[in-house]
């Protein structure tokens, strides 16, 4: 069956003297996922985003002193249409990306937390870029998605060992007065959800909280309130990460700034809608954890200042940010 919307074709002719312009336009066309029918002829599936993107490259070509023709194209037959679609087969690119992921997995044990965070961000950019230009995803894309999720789990296991599993159920509303001056316990080597939850506890729930950092969840004293591990008093519930469970437990969800922080923690911990500040916070946390080694008290003190600043930032009207 033919591609219903058809195709859009850009034909370019650039002056040979414009080497810089030629390279810039070629890189842009490659990033868009164009198929090259021949030198100077580039094809994309039809659609307004593709049409606009190619029109911008045509305008750039003309500014460089060249010529450009942008046109709609329909395949003459189903066979010709299938031939066009085959030009966009990303199977080899997915295979190469998966080989790179295997190399990354082998390197993981030797990387610091900061290096692991940078690796994850780079691989995420590359994965999203290839997904964006895989216009006709097939088995290779599906297999890569499974491999990608496995890679993310294994990276997260390095950054945050013993990460709790999602548990079903609802979050009951608790009386704040019964949770004052308590000992709270979580896994040591704090990462996003744990350090943000500890900040939330001391800032909004229990100002006199004492923290105990556990080598394993089994070390949690019976008198302590555990958080962010399986079986803890406060952990992942449904789609909520521990930070969000704490918000719901103590009636803090209506605070828009805390909810925004919760969305950031959620994205960094389990994925989700992007929050602009998330990558910066993760980089600061990774660097601080690298500097302070295993000193979680010092790490919490430093990152609490960062979270105080983010909270103040999120309290401002969106237009003022």
Predicted confidence at residue 17, as pLDDT, reads: 74
Helical residues (DSSP H) of the chain, grouped into ranges = 19-32, 48-63, 78-86, 91-107, 113-132, 139-159, 192-200, 242-249, 256-270, 278-292, 296-315
pLDDT averaged over every residue in the chain: 90
Count of residues in the chain: 321
Measuring CA to CA, how many Å separate 169 from each of 175, 235, 236, 238, 245? 19, 11, 10, 6, 11
pLDDT at 127 over 60: yes
Give the C-alpha separation, 266 to 301, whole Å. 21
Pairing of strands 210-214, 183-187: parallel
Give the C-alpha separation, 285 to 269, whole Å. 13
CB under 8 Å to 183, separation ≥6 — which residues?
209, 210, 211, 212, 221, 223, 224, 225
pLDDT at 218 over 70: yes
Nearest to 4 by CA among 55, 56, 75: 75
Six token digits for residue 119: 């690796």
156 or 52: which leads in pLDDT: 52
- CATH architecture, range 7-86: 2-Layer Sandwich (3.30)
Model confidence band, residue 165 (pLDDT cutoffs 50, 70, 90) = low
| Lowest mean per-residue pLDDT among 63-72, 110-119, 133-142 | 110-119
Pairing of strands 225-226, 210-214: unpaired
Instruction: Tell me if 232 sits within 8 A of 279, measured CB to CB.
Output: no
Six token digits for residue 216: 């394993």
- What is the mean pLDDT of the segment spanning 229-236? 92
Nearest to 276 by CA among 305, 313, 236: 313
Q: What backbone phi and psi angles, to 5 degrees, belong to 245?
A: -65, -40
In this predicted model, what pLDDT tens digit does every residue of 239-297 receive, in sequence order? 899 999 999 999 999 999 999 999 999 999 888 888 999 989 999 999 999 899 889 99
Domain boundaries, the chain: 7-86, 91-159, 176-320
252 or 116: which leads in pLDDT: 252
Q: What backbone phi and psi angles, to 5 degrees, belong to 7?
A: -140, 160
Give the C-alpha separation, 274 to 264, whole Å. 8
Entry pTM = 0.58
Give the C-alpha separation, 158 to 107, whole Å. 12
Nearest to 197 by CA among 225, 166, 165, 162: 225
Helical residues (DSSP H) of 1-47, grouped into ranges = 19-32
Give the C-alpha separation, 17 to 14, whole Å. 8
Predicted confidence at residue 39, as pLDDT, reads: 82
pLDDT at 83 over 90: yes
Predicted confidence at residue 167, as pLDDT, reads: 59
């Amino acid at each position: 069956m033919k591609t219903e919307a058809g195709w859009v074709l850009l034909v370019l002719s650039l002056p040979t003297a414009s080497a810089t312009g030629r390279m810039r336009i070629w890189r842009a066309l490659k990033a868009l996922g164009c198929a090259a029918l021949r030198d100077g002829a580039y094809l994309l599936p039809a659609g307004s985003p593709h049409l606009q993107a190619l029109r911008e490259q045509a305008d750039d070509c003309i500014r460089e002193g060249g010529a450009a023709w942008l046109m709609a194209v329909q395949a003459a037959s189903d066979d010709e249409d299938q031939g066009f679609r085959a030009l966009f087969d990303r199977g080899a690119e997915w295979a190469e990306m998966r080989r790179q992921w295997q190399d990354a997995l082998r390197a993981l044990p030797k990387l610091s937390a900061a290096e692991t965070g940078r690796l994850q961000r780079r691989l995420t950019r590359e994965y999203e870029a290839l997904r964006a230009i895989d216009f006709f995803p097939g088995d290779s894309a599906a297999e890569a998605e499974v491999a990608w999720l496995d890679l993310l789990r294994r990276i997260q296991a390095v950054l945050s060992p013993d990460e709790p599993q999602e548990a079903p159920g609802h979050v009951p509303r608790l009386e704040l007065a019964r949770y004052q001056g308590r000992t709270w316990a979580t896994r040591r080597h704090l990462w996003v959800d744990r350090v943000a939850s500890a900040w939330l506890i001391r800032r909004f729930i229990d100002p006199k909280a004492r923290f105990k950092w556990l080598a394993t969840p089994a070390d949690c004293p019976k008198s302590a309130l555990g958080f962010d591990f399986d079986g803890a008093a406060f952990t992942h519930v449904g789609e909520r990460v521990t930070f969000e469970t704490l918000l719901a437990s103590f009636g803090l969800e209506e605070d828009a700034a805390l909810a925004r922080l919760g969305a950031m923690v959620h994205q960094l911990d389990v994925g989700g809608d992007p929050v602009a500040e998330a990558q910066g916070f993760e980089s600061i946390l990774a660097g601080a954890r690298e500097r302070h080694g295993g000193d979680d008290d010092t790490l919490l003190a430093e990152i609490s200042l960062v979270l105080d600043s983010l909270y103040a930032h999120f309290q401002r009207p969106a237009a003022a940010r």
